[in-house]
Structure 1
Amino acid sequence: MSAGSKLKTASVTVALIGAVAAGGYFAKPYLVGSMGAGPAVAQTAPQAMPVKVAPVETQQIRLWSEFSGRLSAIDQVELRPQVSGTIQEVRFEDGQMVQKGDVLMVIDPRPYEAAVAEAKAELNAAGHTLRLAKKQRVRAEQLVKKGHVSKAVRDQRVSDHTVAVSRVNSAKAQLIQAEINLNYAYVKAPISGRLSRAEITVGNLVEAGPNAPVLTSIVSTDEIYADFDVDERNYLRYVHELTKVGGAVSELPVELTIDVGELRVYKGHIHSFDNQIDPATGTIRARAIFSNESGSLLPGMFAELRLGGSDVEDLVLLNPGDIGTDQDRKFVYVVGEGSTVEYREVALGASVEGKRVITRGLAQGDQVILGGLMKVRPGVPVTPILPETAQTAETTQLSATADTAKAEPSN
């Protein structure tokens, strides 16, 4: 580079440095003014955010508690032979529905028929003996008055008559027992219901007694029990409700749900509570009763049960999405004084049809902010909009947008 070029470059550099310094000097007053030396700029007040709200209203709701239980038959009988003999007939099919008094099995009745015939003959003979003894007694009483026979003879005739009466009574008892045994030879259903299978088949010998085998079993089906355990807290609540209205436990409704590909609900009521709480589990055994005319409910089935209160209550319900969690507390946002957001701690109760019962924290008329947990904070000004109003506004806006689109000319 030549000496002339170097001199020109140095001159340009000096000129640029001077310009920068001058710019900084003239810019300084503006910077100072913006940092507080100049006039203050007025801040604009935050605009109120539109939020959907719902006024708190109570609804008449029956509270339900859910339990699991098992079904059991109201009547269940194991049939055993009451006389000995060979099984001659089986008159039912496995699983058949029968009525009380139907003959199910026949034990060879011939020995018992013979016993009945023998007892009848004994009774007939005892009757003849009694009639003769009665005549002799009457004759002896007449003759002793005339002195034709001694008192000893009369006393003997009286004794013979008394023995004859006893023999007749004994013969009658033997006949009754023989007829009972003959009746036992025809094994009958003691209750109406559904039979199990035949445990003893035709041709087998059975004997009566404490070790007698089970021939079959039968369970009633018209009604059925559901047994389940109720925790102490819920039990006390139900008892307290009944005490207030002076009702009986049978007034407590129970719903039973069975899953048969679709949920089928049966309605019943409490039959009884046990007489003590199990200290090991803190529960009391409850028994509900349900109609089962179709016979589709079977003993031993697992069932989901809901136990309801004796009466409906005025309750506040909220969607879970409108309830926030603050560590171990639950809260909602409501529209407070000056149309600002207010934090309100609430206490939750049971779940009812997907909603939660609010037992404490809200009063009639409070406006709860819906779905705004992530959008608003306490103290923020808001414009409350009822859901119906918001829906109308959205519909109007959509209609206006559609009309505008129609009015635009096509290219």
Structure 2
Amino acid sequence: MPTLLPRPPRLALLIAVTFVSGTFAACQRKQAEVQKTPPLTIPVSTPVEREVTDFAEYTGRTDAVESVSVRARVTGELKSMPFGEGTEVRGPVKFAWLKMSAGDLLFKIDPEPYQAIVDQAEGQLLQCKGQRAQAQLTYESDKQLFESGSGSGMTVALDKAILDAADGKLRSAEGALKAAKYNLSLTEIHAPVSGRISRYFYTPGNQVSENQTLLTTIVSMERMYAYFDVEERTYQRLLDGAKGGLPGFAVRMTIEGDTKPETRPEGKGDSKGGSGKGAARGDAKPEPKSDPNVFVGKLNFINNQVNPSTGTVAVRAVFENRRTYGGMWKLLPGMFVRVRIDLGEPYRSALVSDKAIGSDQGLKYVYVVDAENKVQYRRVDIGPLQEDGLRVIRPYKPGRSPTDLPTGVKADERVVVGGLPQLRPKMEVKPDLTPMPTATSGPDTNRGKKP
């Protein structure tokens, strides 16, 4: 007879069934909650299209076109300084090579010792003239006697030698007087060039030495140089714009520390990533109503060799200086500036916010939202950054194979402009179409938004 197993208690069976049912229902509720999570709201914008020009930007230093260190040309006691420190002085007035008038008087050294030397030289000159006249009379008298047969030829020859010696002494005396007068004129130091003068380094009563004592400095102000170094690649592009001389590309300079960007209507002005059709070339001049902190000039010197330690070429541009409302010059020698050279002709391009561009192991990319609202990874080749914060993007190129992916963006594509760290390729999002943000306007697009 078979053995019957004991039946489990009904209460235990009921508890087990209830636990399993509850666990299954909880899992179903969690899955339902995950499925109901809405997609992330991400700001997107369509690229901006406008005409730009490639450019290269460098840092440099300004320098005066003319710079003079004023030194004492004679030794003596400094008497006076009839000029104001830091003021503008006028240099000599010239017509062609002829000097019409001297520059402003800057310093005066005690002239009495040099006046005494002039007086002495004048007296010596008079004495030499008298000796020469006496030698001339003696020579002519002895020569007449010799010609009449009563004189000696040796005497005539001796008289001629004495006359020649008197001529030599006379010329020496004339030269000494000229040198003495020149040294006397050097006791008054005039401005050699027009410009702004520095402070004086010595006060009256000090002893100054010939060609050693530095009294002050003068720098010209009407025009200003800017020196900077360009790499070899940019130098080759500059050669493309050279037509029988220096390249005619426009050069723009901005004073370092200026926080006011140059604002012009979109597509018609210059910016930090390109310039419009109105970009000046050759003898460029500042445009009317331009930013007072932006200067437009031209190249006027390229060095004849490459620096082997840096691989760069020294370049110089010249700019017209401007006065402020208070009358002071805007540019000073030694200023740290940013110089931008336009390269090539204007072309039309797409631009996106620089915040929309990510970096992947040195390669640049953007996220594009397709028609199914899914994020697509897109490599891009970037150009210069403009002052409004938009970056030039090279034209769109479709991929030719699964390994050759497309690059660039189309004009009608939606580019993600915020929340890039939260996104992954093929991720579904809710696009929020906004205008392309710039550096001066636009919403905060640093983070994605959840509803």
Report the TM-score range of the alignment, normalised by the length of the smaller protein: 0.5 to 0.7
Aligned to 2:449: none
The CA deviation string for residues 4-32 of structure 1, in whole angstroms up to 9 with x for no partner, is xxxxxxxxxxxxxxxxxxxxxxxxxxxxx
Shift in Å, 1:326: 8.4
Aligned to 1:282: 311
SS at match of 2:173: helix
Question: Against the structure 1 CA distance between its residues 302 and 345, is the aligned structure 2 distance closer, same or farther, given a 3 Å change threshold?
Answer: closer
Shift in Å, 1:319: 1.9
The CA deviation string for residues 303-360 of structure 1, in whole angstroms up to 9 with x for no partner, is 1221222x52324232237976584353686999xxxx99875422222443333335
Aligned to 1:383: none
Aligned to 2:227: 227
Shift in Å, 1:293: 4.9
Of 73, 77, 91, the residue aligned with 2:64 is 73
The CA deviation string for residues 353-374 of structure 1, in whole angstroms up to 9 with x for no partner, is 43333335359x9653144799
- Name the structure where helix makes up a greater proportion of residues: 1
The CA deviation string for residues 272-291 of structure 1, in whole angstroms up to 9 with x for no partner, is 12222222222222222111
Question: Against the structure 1 CA distance between its residues 303 and 52, is the aligned structure 2 distance closer, same or farther, given a 3 Å change threshold?
Answer: closer
Question: Against the structure 1 CA distance between its residues 213 and 63, is the aligned structure 2 distance closer, same or farther, given a 3 Å change threshold?
Answer: same
CA contact (8 A) 1:99 1:193 kept: yes
Aligned to 1:253: 251
Aligned to 2:241: 242
Shift in Å, 1:202: 0.7
Q: Which moved more, 1:317-326 or 1:348-357?
A: 317-326
Aligned to 2:100: none
Paired residue type of 2:219? V
Paired residue type of 1:355? L
- Whether 1:206 and 2:202 are equivalent positions in the alignment is no
* 1:104-183 correspondence to structure 2 within 5 Å: 104-183=106-185
Aligned to 2:77: 86
Superposed CA RMSD: 3.6
Work out the CA distance in 1 between the residues paired with 2:359 and 2:167. Answer: 95
Question: Against the structure 1 CA distance between its residues 127 and 362, is the aligned structure 2 distance closer, same or farther, given a 3 Å change threshold?
Answer: farther
Aligned to 1:191: 193
What residue ranges of structure 1 are gaps of 5+ in the alignment? 1-50, 381-386, 388-411
SS at match of 1:306: strand
Question: Against the structure 1 CA distance between its residues 137 and 90, is the aligned structure 2 distance closer, same or farther, given a 3 Å change threshold?
Answer: same
The CA deviation string for residues 84-126 of structure 1, in whole angstroms up to 9 with x for no partner, is 1111111122212111221111111011111112212222222
What residue ranges of structure 2 are gaps of 5+ in the alignment? 1-43, 92-102, 262-292, 324-328, 399-408, 429-434, 436-451
State, as a whole percentage, how many aligned pairs show the same letter.
31
Paired residue type of 1:281? T
The CA deviation string for residues 198-250 of structure 1, in whole angstroms up to 9 with x for no partner, is 111111122225xx2211222221212112222222222222x224x445246
The CA deviation string for residues 99-157 of structure 1, in whole angstroms up to 9 with x for no partner, is 12211111110111111122122222222222332233333333322222111111112
Q: Which moved more, 1:193-202 or 1:73-82?
A: 73-82
Q: Which moved more, 1:296-305 or 1:180-189?
A: 296-305
Question: Against the structure 1 CA distance between its residues 160 and 313, is the aligned structure 2 distance closer, same or farther, given a 3 Å change threshold?
Answer: same
Work out the CA distance in 2 between the residues paired with 1:207 and 1:326. Answer: 64
Aligned to 1:218: 218
TM-score calculated relative to the size of structure 1? 0.67
Question: Against the structure 1 CA distance between its residues 325 and 69, is the aligned structure 2 distance closer, same or farther, given a 3 Å change threshold?
Answer: closer
- Whether 1:302 and 2:342 are equivalent positions in the alignment is no
Question: Against the structure 1 CA distance between its residues 253 and 135, is the aligned structure 2 distance closer, same or farther, given a 3 Å change threshold?
Answer: same
TM-score calculated relative to the size of structure 2? 0.62
Of 298, 305, 312, the residue aligned with 2:345 is 312
Shift in Å, 1:262: 4.6
Work out the CA distance in 1 between the residues paired with 2:306 and 2:226. Answer: 18
Question: Against the structure 1 CA distance between its residues 275 and 114, is the aligned structure 2 distance closer, same or farther, given a 3 Å change threshold?
Answer: same
Work out the CA distance in 2 between the residues paired with 1:203 and 1:149. Answer: 65
SS at match of 1:92: coil
CA contact (8 A) 1:140 1:154 kept: yes
Work out the CA distance in 1 between the residues paired with 2:355 and 2:64. Answer: 46
SS at match of 2:305: coil
- Whether 1:98 and 2:77 are equivalent positions in the alignment is no
Paired residue type of 1:88? K
Question: Against the structure 1 CA distance between its residues 147 and 272, is the aligned structure 2 distance closer, same or farther, given a 3 Å change threshold?
Answer: same
SS at match of 2:394: strand
SS at match of 1:312: strand
The CA deviation string for residues 251-282 of structure 1, in whole angstroms up to 9 with x for no partner, is 55232335467561111122212222222222
Aligned to 2:391: 356
Shift in Å, 1:57: 6.9
